[in-house]
Amino acid sequence: MSRWFRLSRAWCVIRPVRVQSRLLSTRYSTEYVRVPCASSGEITISLHNVSQHHPATPLAIFIPPFSHAGAEPAVPLPASLLDHPTAVINYRWQPHGEHDRPEIPLQWPTPIHDVLFGYSWLLSNLGTANDESPGPRSAYIYGSYLGASLAAGLALTESHLPDPPRRMTVRGLVAHNGIYNWTMFLPDHPIHKTPRSTSKADRRAKRRRGLLLPLDVFDEAVRAEPEDDDSDPFTLLQHQTPLLFSSPADLFDPFASACLFFHTPNLHVPDDFTTPLSASSSTLPPEWTQAIDIMSSFSPSSSPSSSPSNGSPESESEPDETADELLAKAAQRAKQQNPPRKGYFRFPPRQSTLRLPETLLLYDDAVASRKGKGGNSFKLQATELASVMRRSLGMAEFRQRMANGGEDEFADLNVRAREAERRVQLAGVGGSADMEGGLLGLDEEGEEVVGEWLRDRIDEERM
């Protein structure tokens, strides 16, 4: 009897499949498990080679590049994961109106809920028991495209220190061609504005204080606005944003935009996905006086008979509507005059058991050469996430480790910078992305990079 079925009878294996793989010396097995998601239906987790390995063997968790209705993912399991026990969380994330069960909205936040339900099942059923292992089972999360956004949110919030009471903890993240700050697609994001020049002295001072990120010093040519290529995966994801999210406020969720775990969004939440604040009317000064007069003369306790001017329903409702419109315009004017400034968070929080996981952020070189509006691209997305993660390591974790004693080498800024770059790696790789036939993964060279990275991290655990 399967171990996960024995531990929890609320779930059962749908269909075990065992086939011979040319790439493996052992038999390759796949089993499918249905996992309920409270009142929001269910998802399917596919387990590859899990029964072929010891329960304490590090587990790979693959989050597919896009949502697929069937149990089996629309893309094959990445070659770099074939030698590892792997669980695939088949989440649901589809535009409104394009699924079979409209009573369950499959826009955001349904996909992150699915991923969290899936991870909870893996934690309960495939995590190590306290009497089987001295520590929790290690998990390495791999995601691409939409799956990379979900993988980043999951990894950053489940990478706890390996305390014995835990059954599983995330030790590493591999993300390929992900969107880590969806707010960059909004027209008011500063990336779409001409960057202000910064003197070399100011840049040196900010770098000493750890405030200057590589993102802040990109060449202006990177921020140019080339023509959009509608066949480009990045452009297609940008066009799909209003369909994948029900409102612009959802883009500000850190579980969707992982960069927002580390800093505040430096723009206001807009009313829609496409209208910039500059497009709203600014003819407010004369109307302020009119709005004040209307609001001061209107009394909720007054009745229609007490005022001769309120002789019809239309005249009753008109002052309220006018005041609402003016207040909306006033709010727009205030947003235009007071854009929010970016502020940084300490993440993970000081008293948290979280620790930033070892991370490998990949982007396709070919796709990076075709940037979207404002220079936004997979490369820029990966660069920003790498930057804020490295900043967090240098400003928080390494300093804390020095304060705790025994790691004085981190007093050297160069040592901290090298360790941050080792912990959070950024690389351009070759990839294959065919949007007509479905998103594909890395090419052979890219999968070799991922495979070597995984082997190195797992070997470090065994030392």
Kindly state the tokens that stand for 214. Answer: 């590589």
Q: Are 128 and 104 spatial neighbours (Cβ–Cβ below 8 Å)?
A: no
- Any domain includes 401: yes
Q: Over the stretch 121-156, which tens digit does the pLDDT of each residue have?
A: 999 999 987 555 678 999 999 999 999 999 999 999
- Any domain includes 438: yes
| pLDDT number for residue 305 | 47
Kindly state the tokens that stand for 439. Answer: 């998103």
The answer to whether residues 14 and 154 belong to one domain is yes
Q: Over the stretch 15-34, which tens digit does the pLDDT of each residue have?
A: 544 433 334 444 678 999 99
| pLDDT number for residue 346 | 94
C-alpha span between 148 and 382 (Å, rounded): 10
C-alpha span between 335 and 387 (Å, rounded): 28
Under the banding of pLDDT at 50, 70 and 90, the label for residue 194 is: low
The answer to whether residues 20 and 87 belong to one domain is yes
Total domains in the fold of the chain: 2
The answer to whether residues 40 and 173 belong to one domain is yes
The answer to whether residues 354 and 333 belong to one domain is no
The answer to whether residues 330 and 386 belong to one domain is no
The answer to whether residues 319 and 381 belong to one domain is no
The answer to whether residues 117 and 13 belong to one domain is yes
- Any domain includes 319: yes
The arithmetic mean of pLDDT across residues 26-53, rounded, is: 90
- Any domain includes 40: yes
Tokens 């419109």, located at residue = 325
Whether pLDDT at 219 is above 50: no
Domain finish residue from 305, 338, 371: 338
The arithmetic mean of pLDDT across residues 175-181, rounded, is: 98
Q: Which domain holds residue 398?
A: 3-184+348-462
Under the banding of pLDDT at 50, 70 and 90, the label for residue 292 is: very low
Residues near 389 by beta carbon (within 8 Å), at least 6 away in sequence? 262, 356, 359, 420, 423, 424
- Any domain includes 246: no
The answer to whether residues 286 and 410 belong to one domain is no
Whether pLDDT at 201 is above 80: no
> Directed axis angle between helix 146-158 and helix 110-126, to 10°?
50
The answer to whether residues 292 and 390 belong to one domain is no
Q: Over the stretch 411-426, which tens digit does the pLDDT of each residue have?
A: 788 888 999 999 999 9
The answer to whether residues 42 and 159 belong to one domain is yes
The answer to whether residues 281 and 406 belong to one domain is no
The answer to whether residues 327 and 360 belong to one domain is no
- Any domain includes 322: yes
- Any domain includes 390: yes
| pLDDT number for residue 43 | 95
C-alpha span between 360 and 144 (Å, rounded): 12
- Any domain includes 224: no
Whether pLDDT at 257 is above 60: yes
371 or 17: which leads in pLDDT: 371
363 beta partners: 428
Alpha helices in 247-344 (DSSP H): 285-297, 313-337
Residue type at position 134: P
Q: Are 438 and 416 spatial neighbours (Cβ–Cβ below 8 Å)?
A: no
C-alpha span between 450 and 458 (Å, rounded): 12
Under the banding of pLDDT at 50, 70 and 90, the label for residue 288 is: low
Tell me the CATH number at 110: 3.40.50
Q: Please, what is the average pLDDT of the chain?
A: 78
Residue 58 DSSP label: P
